Structure 1
């Protein structure tokens, strides 16, 4: 049975390479999932029992395990750096907001004081 399955996988891979699959859409990219569907097996079968075929498919698509891992690692590192920068920017903005709240409170206090002085009658407006 294993020899038959391997033969079916090899034949399905050949059909996919040449763009003449019997089961999957011809426009579909070569992948382990597409190969599994074409051969009538589960993709876990390819991963677990036929790692050489899985490696061949990854080689065709340019996605080796190491390359996939390195790519994901680089993307993760870039996202972490972006998050670090965004957190620093948020802290800076929050600091600015605190400063502006303080300035606003000082101006409100000064404004209230000026209104009180104006309403006391002891102050005369000039030019207004």
Structure 2
């Protein structure tokens, strides 16, 4: 339960701050999954030492005792980051045309190109060479 809350809060924070939002989802999944795996590994190490049985039992209660306990943590991180990113964009009335992926730079820059004689002469030479 503690890991679920942590993963959801982490996902929400990353969803609000990191752009593009797919990067926020990837980062939150990687950090939540890595932290879960690290805590599980520390729990397995604590089980081998008789003096640390209490720590092993508390880690086991916190994250679960099998490998499949990581899926709810990853789901909480992903849903938290996606929901936060969508709500942030709706609150700021941000256009969602290039929201999940960045727009292609070439498309944006083509609108800023100014026509001049050199470009049109070079374009005409290419058309003559290609026979179009």
TM-score (normalizing by structure 1): 0.29
Structure ID, larger Rg: 1
Say which structure, 1 or 2, has more relative contact order (CA 8 Å, 6+ apart): 2
